[in-house]
Structure 1
């Protein structure tokens, strides 16, 4: 399924819902399933966002679907990230918006819409 993903946490800390539209968007093919974890040599439930060529852009492990509504879905899991201190793991949630449906508005767009002003 082609989706746009908004990460709902930064370094394990929740991002306020009204600011999610300001966060970077990641676009690709969403794959949910059981995959082999090469680092730990075990099978794992995971969500992967992939490019058309199959390259993995982002991944959540030990994933579970938290909510589904119309063309949106929230999935939660563990994000692994390589740092100068080694691999770290954070709680993460993704808001997945199906391709072709409206994306989240930015705080700037919402401000101008609610104030009736025009953007420059």
Structure 2
């Protein structure tokens, strides 16, 4: 019971802290880590069409990140009580890094939109 509470506590903390990177095996397939985010145009110089295209790319990127997070969760469930401390730490690190990348990409896009609206 204590281990489960600690795991829940760690997952909650990682959700708040953000992060990705180490590929983790899920079932028989490998979870594919989230790569670099899409290029975000300079909002002060971008056209509306460029921002719309960028918005679509950011949404797709975030969706890929969410899929990877689900894969990580499935890996943890599959490992169950047999999960090692190392495996758990790798999953948490991958989760944390993924959330951070998604956050940074979304924030960069939001900054571009604010710059676009300010011109």
TM-score over 0.5 for the alignment?
A: no
Greater percentage in strand: 1
- The structure whose Rg is larger is 2
Q: What's the TM-score, normalizing by structure 2?
A: 0.28
Q: What's the TM-score, normalizing by structure 1?
A: 0.28
Greater percentage in helix: 2
